[in-house]
Amino acid sequence: MNDNHIVSSFDRELEQIQAHIMKMGGLVEEAILDASKSLKNRDEELAEQVRNADKAIDALEELINDECIKLIALRSPAAVDLRVALSVMKISGNLERIGDYAKNMAKRTSVLVHMTPVEGARGALRRMAREVQLMLKDALDAYIQRDVELAHDILARDHDIDQMYNALFREFLTFMMEDPRYITPCMHLHFIAKNTERMGDHVTSIAEQVIYLVTGSMPDDIRPKDDHYKPELHIAD
């Protein structure tokens, strides 16, 4: 009886924390979309909004962290439940980093509006960000529903994000070589592209947590972490 009581208290409190994760996820998705929209439309006001909205995301991470520590300290969960609680902390860490990258995109947008526009790139970056936002939505669904198939699907889609990044990297190099006026804006755009690719890596890390929680082991085809070297960078040497 006592054991059952402990288990269900744990589950109930975990559910509450997961509701905060979903709320945080919603804010992060919005930040990605708004940041890329502000970049596309050279909208400084929207960029400013994204920068301010990041505080709420950070506050949620702190709240979730505290809730998890309290849950672990008070409920002394067995190893399996402990891993679940730790995975929640990891996921909120991933979400916070994605939010940071969106904020950084907004900050660079505020600088880029005063520079020579680089045609085409902003549209491509917005499509890439949109793709990452959809992946994040699915990753959180996969987490809540413990859907391993969907999680594997996200791992596969992250390769598309990597390819979009590589294509943009080549495009930026071409722009910079054609006209030195493009060098500074392209450096910023390149950072945005790289950071968007990193958002994809953090989404993938959420999907990996799902696979780990359900199957007990990490996916075989574990994908490279942030900023691992990509063979495509061998170009133009």
Nearer to a copy of itself, 70 or 145 (CB): 70
Nearer to a copy of itself, 191 or 223 (CB): 191
Nearer to a copy of itself, 107 or 137 (CB): 107
Alpha-carbon torsion, ordered 218, 223, 228, 232, to 10 deg: 170
User: At a CB cut-off of 8 Å and minimum separation 6, what does 37 contact?
Assistant: 43, 46, 126
Write the CA distances from 28 to 58, 81, 135, 226, 229, integer angstroms.
10, 26, 12, 19, 27
Query: CA nearest 133: which of 112, 105, 111?
Result: 105
Closest approach of a copy of itself to the CB of residue 153, in Å: 26
The residues of the shown chain that bind a copy of itself, judged by CB under 8 A, are 69-70, 72-73, 76-79, 82-83, 86, 100-101, 103-104, 107-108, 111, 114-115, 173, 176-177, 180, 183-185, 187-188, 190-191, 195, 225-229, 233-237
Nearer to a copy of itself, 145 or 174 (CB): 174
Closest approach of a copy of itself to the CB of residue 145, in Å: 25
| Separation CA 222–CA 183 (nearest Å) | 35
Closest approach of a copy of itself to the CB of residue 37, in Å: 18
